[in-house]
Structure 1
Amino acid sequence: MGKLSGITVVDLTQFLPGPMMTVMMADQGARVIKIEPQAGDPARAMEPKEAGHSVWFANLNRGKESVVLDLKSEDGKAALADLCREADVFVEGFRPGVMKRLGFDFDSVKEIKPDIIYCSISAFGQEGSLAHHPAHDMAVQALAGFLSVNDGADGMPVVPGAPSADLAAGLTALSAVLMALVGRGSSGEGAYIDCAMFDSLLPWCAHTAGSAIAGGESPVSSHQRSLGGAGFYQVYETKDAKHVALGGREIKFARNLLTALGRDDLIAHAEREAGEQQELIAFLRGAFAARTRDEWVDWFADKDVAFAPVLNFREALGEPYIAERQLLVESTDGAHHIAPPIRFAGEDWRPGKVPELNSGPRKK
């Protein structure tokens, strides 16, 4: 029994933002009915695969049910309407206007289930000049300003390592739906949620884009403490062409490290404005280049400094911390799942079964 046991979700989403949102609900006991086209969610075909399923698809769709419907047919529409009658939440991720053409926009579903909580996830929202502009994660990051500071030392923006707009939308949609469920408990009324990836990502720049938010100049990475302008929030190459990171700008960390390296004279440099720490950064580059990454890991073991080796995913997933926190879990079919970050004390979580295409609703 999870915290969301008794909640039924009709899920018409594919790929990443919507499935990420609804798998978090399924992980907590919600009944999630995933509506798929005949070919299934395209993520089913994504490599690599393990135990017969795409790792991507399995990790974002475990514990759900699959129902294949042709929503352009009368039978398909009738079947979806039947599912809506027993649903608490309806989630869709089509481009604006599609659900209205299919006859399942918010007003239509509300006629079927008056207290439905209906959530639309899109790139730029249901209204506005960009509503119909096609975009996946990186294009949204580009238009929101984030790609401009996801740049290298040469100022060239690079492809981001995390699909932040997708993930921000998934988390925002989940938060909104849970708020609406709480509100419905007291008011008895449903809600409509227009969740845009762009809108969801934008607040994430509050700590870096202050000058632009206030109407001034846009931030430049090399002059931002969190984006590369500070010596103690920086990545350094090691002797073996690997990398380490300093991830704490507090002066106590600078004092601890620079004293240990015999350069107390540079402590004051760590307090300078971002963009004015070139001498400190140059020294640290030279220092870190003198030892291998693993030698630095050993050297830092007894130092109180926010330091970390830069690991690849295979290395990271093999770290003792992962096992200690049970963050990588093996399912009964031998497949590996990343555990949900939301787990409650005293509750044992195991990954739900990955649905076969058109597994159908479970019997009540």
Structure 2
Amino acid sequence: MGKLSGIKVIDLSLFLPGPMLTMMMADHGADVMKVEPPAGDPARQMEPMQAGQSVWFRNLNRGKKSLALDLKSDAGRQRLWNLLAEADVMIEGFRPGVMKRLGFDYEAVAAKNPRIVYCSISAFGQEGEMAHHPAHDLAVQALSGFLSVNDGPDGMPVVPGVPSADMAAGLNGLSAVLMALIGREQTGKGDYVDIAMFDSMLPWCAHIAGDAISGGAPPVSQSQRSLGGAAFYNVYRTLDGKHIVLGARELKFAKVLLTALDRLGLLPLAELEAGGPQQPLADFLREIFSGRTRAEWVQWFADKDVAFSPVLNFREALDQTFLREKGLLVEADGVHQIAPAFQFASESDWQASDSPALDESQ
């Protein structure tokens, strides 16, 4: 029995944000019906495959049921109405206006099931001048300002390794749905929430874009403590062409490291403004770290209280022993899955489950 046992979810979303939202609900006991187009969620075909299924698809859709429906047909629409009559939650990620054209907008669904919690996920929201602008994660990051500081020393923005807009939308959507379910316990009525990827990203700029929020200039990475301008919050290349990071700016860590390097005289530089004033300290560290391999630095730092980490690729990251200790990566029936990021103390350990075959619930 999970925290969400008994909650019925109809999931019409594809790709990343919606499926992650509903999988997190399924991981904690919700009964999730994934309603797919006749050809299936395109993520089913995304390489690589393991045991006949996409690793991507399995790790975003495990524990759900699948039903393939043509929502342009009378039979398909009627089947969806039958599902929605008993549903607690509906998630959809179509372009704005699509659900209304199909006859399944919130007003229509709530008229038949006023207890439903209905969540739409899109790039810029259901209304306004940007509502119909096509965009995936990269374009949303570009328009939100975040891509401008995802840059190198030359100022050139690069494609981010993390789909932050997708992540923020999925997690905001989950939070909103759970809040609405709690609210329903008090009022007896469901609600509608319009989750925009753009809106979900924006609050997370407060720590770097204070001047811009206040009407001033935008942040420039090389002069920002959190974006590459601080010597003790930065990436350094090692002798073997790999990388390490110093990942905390507190002066106590700088003192420990500079004492160990016999250069405590440089400590005042760590207190200066980010950017140019700290450049001599960053140059010293760059030279020092280039003199040993990554593995040698890992060993050297082992007994020192410094916020240090090697930069690992995903193979190295997933092979770390503490992932197995925490049960974060599991192998079951010949396939690998990333476990839920949290579990409750009162519940039994999470067990891996498979993702559904297309239309297996027909």
Q: TM-score, normalised by structure 1?
A: 0.98
**1:50: which partner in 2?**
50
Instruction: Report deviation, 1:352.
Output: 2.0
Give the aligned residue type for 2:351.
R
**Hey, what does 1:112 align to over in structure 2?**
112
* Pairs aligned (count): 360
Structure 2 equivalent of residue 39 of structure 1: 39
- CA offsets, 1:124-151, max 9 Å, x none? 0001110000000000000000000000
1:225·1:274 contact (CA, 8 Å) conserved in 2?
A: yes
- Between 333-342 and 237-246, the greater mean CA deviation after superposition: 333-342
Contact 1:27 1:351 in 2 (8 A): no
Q: Distance in 1 between matches of 2:24 and 2:195?
A: 17
- State the secondary structure of the residue aligned to 2:266: helix
Shift of 1:334: 1.5
Corresponding residue of 1:79: 79
Q: What's the CA shift for 1:347? A: 2.1
Aligned equivalents of 2:10 and 2:352: distance in 1? 20
Q: Distance in 2 between matches of 1:150 and 1:245?
A: 17
Matches within 5 A, 1:297-316: 297-316=298-317
Shift of 1:218: 0.2
Find the counterpart in structure 2 of residue 10 from structure 1: 10
Rounded to whole Å, the distance in 2 between the matches of 1:52 and 1:261 is 53
- TM-superposed CA distance for 1:359, in Å, is 1.1
How far apart, CA to CA, are the structure 1 residues paired with 2:17 and 2:352?
19
In the alignment, structure 1 residue 325 sits paired with structure 2 residue 326 = yes
- Distance in 2 of aligned mates of 1:265 and 1:211: 33
Q: Show the 5 A alignment for 1:71-150.
A: 71-150=71-150
Match of 2:250 in 1: 250
CA RMSD of aligned residues (A): 0.7
Q: Please report the TM-score for the alignment, with normalisation by the length of structure 2.
A: 0.99
- Identify unmatched segments of 5+ residues in structure 2: none
2:340 is aligned to 340
Between 109-118 and 285-294, report the one with greater CA deviation: 109-118
Q: Is 1:156 aligned to residue 187 of structure 2?
A: no
The match for 2:64 is 64
Moved over 4 A (4+): none
Q: What secondary structure sits across from 1:9 in the alignment?
A: strand
The equivalent of 2:25 in structure 1 is: 25
Cα distance in 2 for partners of 1:113, 1:187 equals 14
For residues 37 and 285 of structure 2, the distance between their equivalents in structure 1, rounded to whole angstroms, comes to: 55
> How many angstroms apart in 2 are the aligned matches of 1:285 and 1:129?
47
Q: Which moved more, 1:152-161 or 1:339-348?
A: 339-348
Matches of 2:145 and 2:66, distance apart in 1: 37
Give the fraction of aligned pairs with identical amino acids, expressed as a percent: 67
| Distance (Å, rounded) in 2 between the aligned partners of 1:97 and 1:347 | 42
The CA distance in 1 between the partners of 2:322 and 2:11, in whole Å, is 34
- Aligned residue for 1:183? 183
Q: Which residue of 1 aligns with 2:285?
A: 284
Letter in 2 for 1:355: P
| Long gaps (5+) in structure 1 | none
Distance in structure 1 (CA, Å) of the matches to 2:269 and 2:148: 27
Shift in Å, 1:27: 0.3
Residue identity matched to 1:205? C
For residues 114 and 351 of structure 1, what CA distance do their matches in structure 2 show? 34
SS at match of 1:296: helix
Q: One-letter code of the match for 1:145?
A: G
Structure 1 residue 324, shift from structure 2 partner: 1.2
Instruction: Tell me the distance in 2 between the aligned counterparts of 1:57 and 1:320.
Output: 26
Which amino acid counterpart does residue 218 of structure 2 have in structure 1? S
- Separation in structure 2 between the aligned mates of residue 203 and residue 334 of structure 1, nearest angstrom: 41
Q: Is the 8 A contact 1:209 1:219 kept in 2?
A: yes
